[in-house]
């Protein structure tokens, strides 16, 4: 089946970050997701989370070779359900993490390397029948499946910004995303680069002009 022909988003679970004002049309299928804030790990305020974060950043520094994204993160914690709120000390000991945790930890890693990094939120087209798999897996783990829809899914990533240019790192896959990926499974239906604090700034992402902090739909390149 052609993915995403019909998309019905599910309202985010209360365990996800609190919603902000929706930036795309309220009537859009994925409007509930557009209201989400990017995920962030919580800190217990004690040694447990301080040591966990210090360990994570030292690990990242060990694996970093001067360039590229932290691909070790999804290798160490494969994509899977996370229960929110999620603390640093819980995240580092988890067997798997969801995209929100991946993206937040990746942002922290980039920032510790001295690279400007901002959150990225996406709505990706998916096969409709995948929804039931996700629903079962997330519910079975006691995690919220609010990110999953029939024909689309909410996803988080991370962007680095330098010299007015953005590159988007899919922290759950360990790969750079292209705005040209607008057709087929996992293609980008909508994306917001940057949070509320970046609003007003404009960058280019592989040739696409992107206002930060605003949901956009990347232009569809013409067929040759």
Partner 1 sequence: MPRDSHPPLTCYLSGVHSGPNPSPGLGVARSLREAYPHARLVAVDYGVESSGLHSEVFDEVWLQRPWKEMRLPVYQAAIREVLDRGAVWLPGQDLEVEFVSAFLGADDGALVPPRESLRRVAKPAIEAAAALLPFTIPPFLSAGRADWELHGFCREHGWRVWVKGPNYEAMPALDWPSFRHARSFLSEIWGTESLFVQRHVPGAEESVAFCAWRGELLDCVHMRKHTQTHEGKTWAGAVGPVDPAIAEPLREVLAELEWTGGGELEYVRALDGTMHLIDWNPRFPAWIHAASFAGHNLPARLLQAAGFGAPAAAPFRGRQFTRVVMEIPILPAYPLPAVRDPVDDGRAGSKHPSGMPDLARRLAETRGGDTTPEPRANGKKPAPRRRPAPEVPATLQWDLDEALAGELPTPRRILLPRTARERFARVERALAAGAGGRVELGFGYSVKTNPHPSLLAMAEASGMFAEVISAAEMRQALAAGFPFERVVLNGPAPRWPAGPEPDGEMVAAFADSPQNLALWLKEGRPRARYLGLRLRPATLELSRFGASLGAPERFAETLALLRALPAGQALGLHFHFASDVLGPARWFETFEGVLHWAAAIQDGVGRPVRCLDVGGGWFPDDFDRELVPSLPRMMAAAAEALPALERFVVEPGKAMAQPAMALVTTVLEVRRARGGAVEAVVDAAISDLPMAPFYPHRVFACGRGGAWEPLGGRGDRLLGRICMETDILASDLALPDDLAAGDRLVIGDAGAYDASMAYNFGRGVLDDACC
Say which residue the tokens 């040694």 belong to: 47
DSSP-derived pairing of the beta strands 188-193 and 202-205: unpaired
In 10 A of CB 170, how many CB atoms? Answer: 23
CA–CA gap between residue 122 and residue 108 (Å, rounded): 19
Per CB under 8 A, the list member of 42, 57, 208, 214 interacting with partner 1 is 57
Among 5, 18, 45, 62, binds partner 1 (CB under 8 A): 62
For residue 117, state whether it binds partner 1 (rule: CB under 8 A): no
- With H, G, I as helix, E, B as strand and everything else as coil, classify residue 162: strand
Of the residues 86, 92, 157, 168, which one makes contact with partner 1 according to CB under 8 A:
92
Residue the block writes with tokens 């960058």: 203
Total residues in contact with partner 1, by rule CB under 8 A:
23
Range in contact with partner 1 (rule: CB under 8 A) among 60-68, 77-85, 100-108, 141-149: 60-68
Q: Establish whether the linkage from the previous residue to 52 is cis, with ω within 30° of 0.
A: no
Q: Which of 75, 113, 112, 129 is nearest to 97 (CA)?
A: 75
C-alpha closest to that of 167 among 193, 195, 205, 194: 205
Q: Which stretch binds partner 1 (CB under 8 A): 56-64, 99-107, 138-146, 153-161?
A: 56-64
Residue 45 lies near partner 1 (rule: CB under 8 A): no
Considering only 22, 31, 50, 201, the residue that binds partner 1 (CB under 8 A) is 50
Question: Please, which residues have CB within 8 angstroms of residue 155's CB and are 6 or more apart in sequence?
Answer: 99, 121, 122, 123, 124, 147, 170, 172
By CB under 8 A, tell whether 18 contacts partner 1: no
Q: Is 75 in the site for partner 1 (CB under 8 A)?
A: no
Q: Looking at beta carbons only, is 58 or 196 nearer to partner 1?
A: 58
Q: Which of 59, 135, 182, 208 binds partner 1 (CB under 8 A)?
A: 59
Closest approach, Cβ 223 to partner 1, in A, equals 7
- Return residues touching partner 1 (CB under 8 A): 47-48, 50-52, 54-59, 61-63, 65-68, 89, 92-93, 223-224
């Amino acid at each position: 089946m052609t993915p995403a022909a019909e998309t019905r988003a599910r309202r985010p679970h209360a365990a996800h970050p609190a919603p902000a004002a929706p930036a795309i049309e309220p009537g859009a299928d994925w409007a509930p997701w557009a209201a989400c804030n990017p995920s962030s790990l919580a800190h217990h305020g004690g040694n447990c989370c301080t040591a966990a974060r210090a360990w994570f950043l030292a690990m990242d520094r060990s694996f970093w070779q001067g360039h590229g994204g932290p691909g070790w993160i999804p290798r160490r914690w494969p994509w899977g359900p996370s229960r929110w709120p999620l603390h640093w000390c819980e995240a580092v000991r988890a067997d798997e993490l969801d995209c929100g945790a991946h993206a937040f930890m990746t942002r922290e890693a980039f920032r510790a390397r001295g690279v400007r990094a901002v959150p990225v939120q996406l709505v990706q087209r998916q096969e409709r029948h995948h929804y039931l798999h996700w629903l079962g897996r997330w519910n079975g783990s006691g995690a919220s499946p609010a990110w999953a829809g029939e024909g689309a899914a909410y996803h988080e990533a991370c962007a680095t910004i330098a010299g007015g240019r953005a590159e988007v790192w899919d922290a759950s896959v360990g790969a750079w995303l292209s705005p040209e990926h607008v057709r087929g499974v996992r293609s980008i239906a909508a994306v917001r680069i940057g949070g509320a604090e970046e609003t007003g700034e404009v960058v280019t992402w592989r040739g696409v002009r992107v206002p930060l902090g605003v949901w956009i739909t990347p232009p569809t390149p013409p067929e040759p």
